[in-house]
Amino acid sequence: MKIKVVLIGHPNVGKSVIFNNLTGLNAIVSNYPGTTVEIYRGTVKRRDYVIDIIDTPGTYSLLPASQAEEVTRRIILEEKPDVIVHVVDATAIRRHLYMSLELMELGIPIVLAVNQIDRAKALGINISRKELENQLGIPVVTCIAVRGEGLEALLDAVIEAHEYGSPTHIKYSDDLEKQLRVIEEVIKEKLPRELKRFSRFIATLLVLGDKEFKGLESIVPASIRKILSEIGKDLILERVTKTDNIYSKVVTITKAKKTKLSRIDYISVRPAFGIAIMAVLTLLVTYGILGLMHEVGHRTPSMLYYNFYEPLVRSVVEKYIPPGIFRSILVGEVSGIYKSMGLLTTGVFFVFFMILPMILVLYFILGVLEDSGFLPRLAVSFHRPLCKMGMTGDAIMPCIAGTGCSIVGVLSTRILRGDKERIIASTLMVLGIPCMAQQVMIWHILGRYGLIYILLLYIILLSIIILVGLILDRVILGGSRTLLIELPPWRKPQLRSVLKKTYTRVLDFLKTGVPLVLLGILIINLAYYTGTINVIAELFSPITSGLWRLPPEVGIAIIIGALRKDVAVGILGRYELSPIQMLTAITVITLSFPCIGSFVIVLSEFGIKRTLKIIAIMFATALTIGSFLGLLSSL
Amino acid sequence: MTGGRGNLKLSDAKEGRVYKIVRVEATNNEFARFSSLGLVPGREVVIHGNGTVVMIEVDNSILVLDHQSASKIIVSDHHEN
C-alpha cells in the first residue's frame, strides 16, 4: 500500500535533514510543474507501506509571500497528500504552533514532528509530547533529525495518522464559526471539483485577504463581505490565543532564558561597519583561496599541458587523421593552449585543467557559506544600500548565487517578494556579476598582468552595478522596502550536505556548460580555418577598434561571449594586448550580452519585452564603459 | 516616547530593552505573516539592535525587520532587560 506524505515547515527546522535521512540516496530533484522551484521526492518502506515523501521549500505561512511559498501551497492542494508531516523546531515551538493550526484547516491527517528536542532540553524548554497530542488531537513525535533519532517513530505515526483519518479542524468562537460556515457554503459551489474538499481552508484564506482566491469575495453575502477583514483579524487573534493556551499547557521552562545571538550578529545590524566586515570576510576567504590557487595552480596545469598532454594528443591524432578540417577541429593547426583552439587541446584544457579544479573549490566555499547561516546576516547588512537600488536585503542571496552562475541566480530571485526587486536583481546579475567559470578564466588571463588589474575590473563592475541599480530604482516605479527575515542560529556546515551541493553544481556545469564551451571553441576554430574571422573583424571594427581601441579580431571573442563568457575570456589569451586593452576586452565581454544560458532563463522568467530591455541596458553600458576604457588605453 | 509607561511603535523601541506587543496595525495579510513569526499581541520582545533595521528576539528566535514593518507593531514598555 502507498502513502503520499508532504513535509512542511518553516525554513531551517531540519525538514531536509529528515527527508535525507528517510529517503537516503534515492531522492529525485525536479522543478515543480510550471515553476522553477525545486522540490525533492523520495521513497521509504515501512511495514507493509511504501511511503512517498515530498520535501517542500521552507514556508512561514500558507498565505504565500513568495513564489517558493506558493509552490508549497500548490503541492498541498494539487498533489493530494495522504498525510502532512509538519516539522517544527522544539526551541521555538510556540510560533510554529500557529502554522499547525493553519494546516489543520486542510482536513488532511497531520503528524507533528518536533525536531531538535535535545537542544530545547539544553535550553531548559521541556515539552510534554503526550499533552501536545491531547491538545492538538494529532500524533506528535519528538526527534533529533541530525542523529536520525525518532525517525522510525515518525514513520509509524504517519501510518497511524493515515489509518485513523483526518483530524477535526480547530473550533473557534461560535460567531466566527458561523461566519466561516456561511462563507464555506457559498464558495463550495464555485470551487472546482478538486478543491471542494478544501472549502473550509479556502474560506479562511478568503477572510485573510489571499490574492489567489480574491475573486470568490463577490459571491459572499453582502452582510459578511462588509466585515470580511474583521473576521480575518478575529481569526488570527483566536488562533494566537489558542497557540498561547496550548503552549502554556504543554511547555515548562526550567532555566533562565539565554539569547541565541552572537557578537557577530550585533555587528551585522550596524550598517557601514557591518557591511565592511561581512564583505571583507567573504572576499578574503573566497579570493584569498582563488589567488592562492591561481599562484599554485596556474603553472602546474600549463606544465602538464605543454610537456605531456598536447604532445601526446597531437601525435596520436596526427598519426591517424590526415591534415584537413577534421584534424584542425580536433587539435588545431598550431600548438599552444590559446593558439590551437582544438576540441581535444584547448577544449579539454579549458574545461578540465583550468575551470573545473577551481570551480570545485569555489562551489565548495559557496556551499559552506550557504549552510553556515551567514547569508541571512549578509542580507541584513545589505538591506539599506540595496534599498537605494530598488531591492531589499533579501536580494543579496540570489546575487551570491549569481556569482556561481547567473542562471541559478536569476532562478533564485523567486524567493523575493516584489516584482521590481526581481527584475533589478536579475538585470544587475547578468550585467555585472561574472559567473564562477568566467571569474576563473579572468584570474588566469588578466592575472598574468598583475593582481591590480583584477582588482580594477572588480571595482569597475561594482561601480556599474551600483550606478545602474540606482538608475533602475528611479526608472521602475513601485516596489517594497520591507524586510522581515529570521536569523537562523550559526551552524557548523555538514560536510555531506556541502559535498552534495558541490557535486550537483559541478555536474550541472559538466552537463550544460561544457557542451557550450566546446561549441564556442569549435566556432572560433572554424572562423579561423575558413577565414571568416577576417569578415567578422572587418564588420565590427568600427566598434572594436574605433571605440574600444582593440585589435579587430578580438570582435570574435566578444561575439562568443553571447555563448559562453568563460571561453570568450579564454580566447583573449591568444592576442597580444596591453593591460588596459585586456581590461577593456574583459569588461565589454562581461557587460555586452547575457550568455545563451542566462538569456534563455531571463526570457522564460520575464518575457521577450523585458529581456530586450535588459539586453539594451547591457549593450549601452558596454559601449559607454568600453569607449571610456578605450580612451584611457590610447592615452 | 522615552522610557515612559505608554505604548510606542516597535520602530521607536530602545536597544537592550524588553517590551510586550500590545497590538498589530497591519493588513490581515501582513498580520498573518507576523503571527507565523511570533509577532503577536502578548509576546515579549527583546530589542537587540535598532539602527538601519530593527533586530529583535521573540519566541526564542532572532528576527530582523525594517522600520516601516516595525512601525506596524505597537509595544508597551515592559521592564528593563
What is the secondary structure of A458-515 as a DSSP string?
Answer: HHHHHHHHHHHHHHHHHHS-------EEEEPPP-PPPHHHHHHHHHHHHHHIIIIIHH
Task: Quote the pLDDT of residue B5.
Answer: 60
Least confident segment among A66-80, A446-460, A495-509, B29-43: A495-509
Cα separation, A319 vs A342, whole angstroms: 16
Residue A208 resides in a domain: yes
Per CB-CB distance under 8 Å, the chain A contacts of B69 are 482-484
Q: Which residues contact B40 (CB under 8 A, 6 or more apart)?
A: A98, A236, A240, B21, B24, B34
Backbone angles phi, psi at B61, to 5 degrees: -130, 155
Task: Quote the pLDDT of residue A87.
Answer: 96
Do A371 and A454 sit in the same domain of this protein?
A: yes
Instruction: Label residue A25 by pLDDT band (50, 70, 90).
Output: low
Do A101 and A211 sit in the same domain of this protein?
A: no
Q: Which of A298, A286, A297, A290 lies closest to A573, judged by CA?
A: A298
Total beta-carbon pairs less than 8 A apart between chain A and chain B:
131
Q: Name the residue facing A60 among B33, B42, B49 (closest C-beta).
A: B33
Tell me the pTM. Answer: 0.80
Last residue of a domain, one of A97, A132, A164: A164
Residue A310 resides in a domain: yes
Task: Quote the pLDDT of residue A303.
Answer: 81
Q: Does the pLDDT of residue B29 top 80, yes or no? A: yes
Q: Strand (E) positions, A194-255?
A: 251-253
Do B16 and B79 contact (CB within 8 A), yes or no? no
Cα separation, A195 vs B18, whole angstroms: 45
Residue A525 resides in a domain: yes
Number of domains observed in the structure of chain A? 3
Do A159 and A183 sit in the same domain of this protein?
A: no
Contact A259 B28 (CB under 8 A): no
Q: What is the pLDDT of residues A308-362, one digit of tens each?
A: 888 999 999 999 999 889 999 999 888 887 788 899 998 888 888 877 877 788 7
Contact A383 B66 (CB under 8 A): yes
Do A435 and A529 sit in the same domain of this protein?
A: yes
Residue A262 resides in a domain: no
State the burial class of residue A107 (Cβ atoms within 10 Å of its Cβ: 0-12, 13-18, 19+).
middle
Number of domains observed in the structure of chain B? 1
Do A533 and A610 sit in the same domain of this protein?
A: yes
512561514: which residue's cell?
A: A60
Mean of the pLDDT values across residues A457-476? 94
Cα separation, A37 vs A415, whole angstroms: 9
Q: Does the pLDDT of residue B80 top 50, yes or no? A: no
Q: Could you give the 3-state DSSP secondary structure of residue A418?
A: coil
Cα separation, B15 vs B45, whole angstroms: 11
Q: Does the pLDDT of residue A473 top 80, yes or no? A: yes
Last residue of a domain, one of A221, A253, A285: A253
Per CB-CB distance under 8 Å, the chain A contacts of B47 are none
Cα separation, A74 vs A56, whole angstroms: 10
β pairing state of A49-55 and A38-46: antiparallel
A19 part of contact set with chain B, CB < 8 Å: no
Instruction: Label residue A285 by pLDDT band (50, 70, 90).
Output: low
Do A137 and A203 sit in the same domain of this protein?
A: no
Residue A235 resides in a domain: yes
Contact A269 B48 (CB under 8 A): yes
Task: Quote the pLDDT of residue A265.
Answer: 64
Per CB-CB distance under 8 Å, the chain A contacts of B46 are 259
In sequence order, what are the beta bridge partners of A127?
A251
**For residue B58, is it left (φ>0), alpha (ψ between -120 and 50) or beta?**
beta
Q: Could you give the 3-state DSSP secondary structure of residue A31?
A: strand
Task: Quote the pLDDT of residue A183.
Answer: 93
Q: Which residues contact A581 (CB under 8 A, 6 or more apart)?
A: A549, A550, A633
- Tell me how far apart the terminal alpha carbons of chain A are, to the nearest angstrom: 78
Residue B1 resides in a domain: no
Q: Name the residue facing A487 among B29, B36, B62 (closest C-beta).
A: B62
Q: Name the residue facing B62 among A95, A102, A486 (closest C-beta).
A: A486
A502, HSE (Cβ side, Cα atoms, 13 Å): 22
Residue B2 resides in a domain: no
Do A107 and A200 contact (CB within 8 A), yes or no? yes
Do A547 and A572 sit in the same domain of this protein?
A: yes
Contact A383 B60 (CB under 8 A): no
Do A567 and A523 sit in the same domain of this protein?
A: yes
Task: Quote the pLDDT of residue B38.
Answer: 92
Per CB-CB distance under 8 Å, the chain A contacts of B58 are 95
Q: Does the pLDDT of residue A513 top 70, yes or no? A: yes
Chain A nearest C-alpha distance from B13 (Å): 15
Q: Which of A348, A296, A372 lies closest to A12, judged by CA?
A: A372
Do A362 and A290 contact (CB within 8 A), yes or no? yes
Q: Name the residue facing B68 among A98, A233, A481 (closest C-beta).
A: A481
Contact A240 B61 (CB under 8 A): no
Chain B nearest C-alpha distance from A438 (Å): 35
Q: What is the pLDDT of residues A426-457, one digit of tens each?
A: 999 999 999 888 988 898 888 888 888 988 99
A63 part of contact set with chain B, CB < 8 Å: yes
CB atoms within 10 A of CB A321: 14
Which cell goes with A137? 488531537
Q: What is the ipTM of this complex?
A: 0.90
- Residue B38 lies in domain: 7-80
Mean of the pLDDT values across residues A536-560? 89
Q: Could you give the 3-state DSSP secondary structure of residue A44?
A: strand
CATH number at residue B36: 2.30.30.90
> What percent of chain B clears pLDDT 90, i.e. is strictly above it?
64
Q: What is the pLDDT of residues A383-438, one digit of tens each?
A: 888 999 999 988 988 888 888 788 878 888 877 878 899 999 999 999 999 988 89
Mean of the pLDDT values across residues A114-141? 93
Chain B nearest C-alpha distance from A455 (Å): 30
Q: Does the pLDDT of residue A498 top 90, yes or no? A: no
Which cell goes with A122? 539544553
Residue B46 resides in a domain: yes
Last residue of a domain, one of A164, A184, A211: A164
Task: Quote the pLDDT of residue A588.
Answer: 95
Q: Which of A365, A359, A371, A285 lies closest to A566, judged by CA?
A: A359
Contact A60 B35 (CB under 8 A): no
State the burial class of residue B63 (Cβ atoms within 10 Å of its Cβ: 0-12, 13-18, 19+).
buried
Do A572 and A447 contact (CB within 8 A), yes or no? no
CATH number at residue A40: 3.40.50.300
Cα separation, A242 vs A231, whole angstroms: 16
Which cell goes with A175? 460567531
Residue A329 resides in a domain: yes
In angstroms, the Cα distances linking A207 to A171, A201, A204, A210, A225 are: 16, 10, 5, 8, 9
- Dihedral sign from CA coordinates of A222, A223, A229, A233: negative
549552510: which residue's cell?
A: A371
- Residue A204 lies in domain: 174-253
A101: nearest CA in chain B?
B36
Do A245 and A296 sit in the same domain of this protein?
A: no
**For residue A260, is it left (φ>0), alpha (ψ between -120 and 50) or beta?**
alpha
Per CB-CB distance under 8 Å, the chain A contacts of B62 are 260-261, 265, 486-487
> What percent of chain B clears pLDDT 70, i.e. is strictly above it?
89
Residue A260 resides in a domain: no
Do A444 and A578 sit in the same domain of this protein?
A: yes
Residue A169 resides in a domain: no
Cα separation, A314 vs B41, whole angstroms: 76
Do A13 and A42 sit in the same domain of this protein?
A: yes
DSSP letter (8 states) at residue A149: B
Residue B72 resides in a domain: yes
Do A319 and A374 sit in the same domain of this protein?
A: yes
